[in-house]
Structure 1
Amino acid sequence: MRGNRANQVQRKRNREATDWLLRNRDPAQPVEEKAHFADWLNDPENCRTYRIAEALMGDARSAIQSDPALRNIRTEPRSRAKPVLSAMLLLACAAASFLALDGPMRLRADAMSNADEMPVLALEDGSIVQMNASSAIAVDFDEKRRTIRLLRGQAFFQVASAPSRPFTVEAGDTRVTALGTAFDVRYGALDTGVTVTEHTVLLESGGASSPSMRVSEGEQATYDRASGKTQIQSVDGVVALAWQRGQLAVENAPLSYVIEEIGRHFSGRIILAGRGLANRRVSGTITVSDTTAALSFVRQALGVKMTRVGPLIVIR
């Protein structure tokens, strides 16, 4: 148990270090935020973790020393500007690689799923989590509470009973506290959806000032982050959880939502090009885990054209 607690503390440091690393790249960072960072950095362990995160982000010297092809390069610059520019370029490339390889998320997350997997995880309290493809979670358990942060994607939770330790899932500014045993949370690009399949959850969306609401078994709540409004509707749990079978069942859903779900199972990127295309409507059951079949369904249903260039697919 002590080892688990130490791991959780370190993972928390990793998340904080990543957060500060990204904040500190903002040239307009407020003075008071810089002061908070200085206080946080006074802790030796925080400082060590931050330096590691800095190195991962793209320390040019570390990149050169770790890559034989770079280490063996010999140059004779004609001016002092060239080595400086070379170092800056290398630093930029390393930073871009860090971001492209999901470096910030890997530092923050305790579990991540790839585009071709939907893993089922057993937590230390006996709860079960199934993650959708391309999803990530961070776990923060202690003696008084159990918190899961859904950093991206979607996950289904079967919660082990422990009344003295509330079980909460956070997705952006949405908090879902289990009052029962089973529910699903989807952290989408524009909204957050919560589907309850057993008992009830307490939903808080939009920050502390927003009223909380109960979502019961057989209901789905959707919080629109742009409008700040939450809608609750009845839903068939089997249909709502079709993603566990690699499917998406939709009725008059916007194409942007459908493409987002297909994209979870695609290792590249799918782009919608053209006015109004995102709001075109789609109905049917789509096998999103099969990208080729899913896009073929969309092409036939809407008459759109698709162009693929390497890992990029453009729909127009």
Structure 2
Amino acid sequence: MPGRRATRAQRKRHEDAAGWLLRNREAGQPAAEQAAFRAWLDEAPENRRTYEVAEQLMGEARTAIASDPALADFEVKPSSATKPVLGMLLALAATGTLFIALDGPMRLRADAMSGTGEMPVFMLADGSTVQLNASSAVAYDYTTGRRTVRLLRGQAYFEVARDPTRVFTVEAGTTRVTALGTAFDVRLGDAETDVTVTHNAVQIAFEGAEQAPLRVTRGEQAVYDHSTGTKEIRPSDGVTALAWQRGQLVVDNAPLSHVVEEMNRHFPGRIVIANGELARRRVSGTLMISDTNAVLVYLEYALRVTTNRIGPLIVIR
């Protein structure tokens, strides 16, 4: 949910504290690094207080894991059916536990977050509004000459208030979106970043790219592929692109991995795909993505897959 606004210095301190917290959990930490940590603590009283908050957040995560029977008592008994994926499931259980614990650093970096299944709307200091998709996070930094929002995770829809003296920019990974009197949607996915314009236009630049920025107008969507660096502008229906605001996902020949990524925003555990070939299978349709059971039933029917539930995990095979 929306939190207090952090200054650039505070956010840097939060990130430093999170980094030290993780490094201090490693065995055999060098003496020089221990000394550097103590020097950082003594550098400013705020450093020590922020580190104590980070420790508290990590402790709360461990307590939550210990109190959840599905996580604390997770155990798999091998059988002929489960042996092929047993190692993967045990690894995923550990990864899921680690994911829960490491969300503490995200909470330190973000000014606003949404939980599983939450899609809050809030107003920024300049009157612009933001709606977060589930499991998303942003940080914002306003100065006298610029309004900058960083999409740290997930997806967000922006309606930008007019201010001729300050540009409005959204940073999502290596993608930088500048509003030109605009309403637009940004999705920072595992494989790609999507920018969909529903009003007026935006200008999109990419870190390290030599070519001129892209101009994307109403009814268009820009797609940036993280692995290949390719960029594409294609027509987009705003109603379809913003279906997530109604708890829906509209896909046309999308990989199963994309569908599962969106399902995980609304699922309190973790949904995984057993292998890469299955992850590349294609799906089309309008899915009530906020209803995990309904989507699983559809996938079982459409792709002839099976789903296995083990504690907080769902494995699609």
Q: Deviation of residue 247 (structure 1)?
A: 0.5
Q: Is the 8 A contact 2:7 2:141 kept in 1?
A: no
Larger Rg: 1
Q: Deviation of residue 220 (structure 1)?
A: 0.6
Q: Deviation of residue 18 (structure 1)?
A: 2.4
Look up the match of 2:178.
177
Look up the match of 1:248.
249
- Give distance in 1, aligned partners of 2:283 and 2:105: 34
Within a 5 Å distance, the mapping from 1:91-110 to structure 2 comes to 99-100=100-101, 102-110=103-111
Q: Is the 8 A contact 1:132 1:155 kept in 2?
A: yes
Q: Structure 1 residues 19 and 214, CA, compared in 2 at 3 Å: closer, same or farther? A: farther
Q: Is the 8 A contact 1:265 1:288 kept in 2?
A: yes
Look up the match of 2:87.
none
Amino acid at match of 2:275: G
Q: Deviations over 1:146-185 (max 9, x none)?
A: 1111111100000001121111111111111111220000
Amino acid at match of 1:152: R
Amino acid at match of 2:10: Q
Q: Is the 8 A contact 1:200 1:217 kept in 2?
A: yes
Q: Structure 1 residues 236 and 101, CA, compared in 2 at 3 Å: closer, same or farther? A: same
Look up the match of 2:17.
17
Answering whether residue 257 of structure 2 is matched by residue 285 of structure 1, we say no
Answering whether residue 120 of structure 2 is matched by residue 119 of structure 1, we say yes
Q: Structure 1 residues 19 and 182, CA, compared in 2 at 3 Å: closer, same or farther? A: farther
Amino acid at match of 2:143: D
Answering whether residue 255 of structure 2 is matched by residue 235 of structure 1, we say no
Answering whether residue 281 of structure 2 is matched by residue 260 of structure 1, we say no
Look up the match of 2:157.
156
Look up the match of 1:143.
144
- Give distance in 1, aligned partners of 2:129 and 2:257: 30
Look up the match of 1:302.
303
Look up the match of 2:76.
none
Q: Deviation of residue 25 (structure 1)?
A: 7.0
- Partner SS for 1:276: helix
- Give distance in 2, aligned partners of 1:14 and 1:200: 34
Select between 232-241 and 35-44 the one with higher mean Cα deviation. 35-44
Unaligned runs of 5+ in 1: 64-92
Q: Is the 8 A contact 2:5 2:140 kept in 1?
A: no
Q: Is the 8 A contact 1:186 1:194 kept in 2?
A: yes
Percent of residue pairs bearing the same amino acid type: 61
Amino acid at match of 1:276: E
- Give distance in 2, aligned partners of 1:34 and 1:166: 42
- Give distance in 2, aligned partners of 1:6 and 1:259: 33
Q: Is the 8 A contact 1:206 1:225 kept in 2?
A: no
**Structure 1-normalised TM-score?**
0.77
Unaligned runs of 5+ in 2: 64-93
Higher relative contact order (CA 8 A, sep 6+): 2
- Give distance in 1, aligned partners of 2:150 and 2:186: 11
Q: Structure 1 residues 22 and 205, CA, compared in 2 at 3 Å: closer, same or farther? A: farther
- Partner SS for 2:266: coil
Give the RMSD, CA atoms, in angstroms: 3.4
Q: Is the 8 A contact 2:270 2:313 kept in 1?
A: yes
Q: Deviation of residue 137 (structure 1)?
A: 0.9
Look up the match of 1:271.
272
Q: Deviations over 1:92-132 (max 9, x none)?
A: x9xx6794372111111111111121111111110010110
- Give distance in 2, aligned partners of 1:154 and 1:174: 13
Amino acid at match of 1:10: Q
- Give distance in 2, aligned partners of 1:35 and 1:160: 47
- Give distance in 1, aligned partners of 2:15 and 2:107: 9
Q: Deviations over 1:213-268 (max 9, x none)?
A: 11111111111111111111111111111111110111111110011111111111
Q: Structure 1 residues 98 and 287, CA, compared in 2 at 3 Å: closer, same or farther? A: closer
Q: Structure 1 residues 231 and 161, CA, compared in 2 at 3 Å: closer, same or farther? A: same
- Give distance in 2, aligned partners of 1:237 and 1:195: 7
- Partner SS for 2:244: helix
- Give distance in 1, aligned partners of 2:25 and 2:167: 36
Q: Structure 1 residues 172 and 6, CA, compared in 2 at 3 Å: closer, same or farther? A: closer
- Partner SS for 1:104: helix
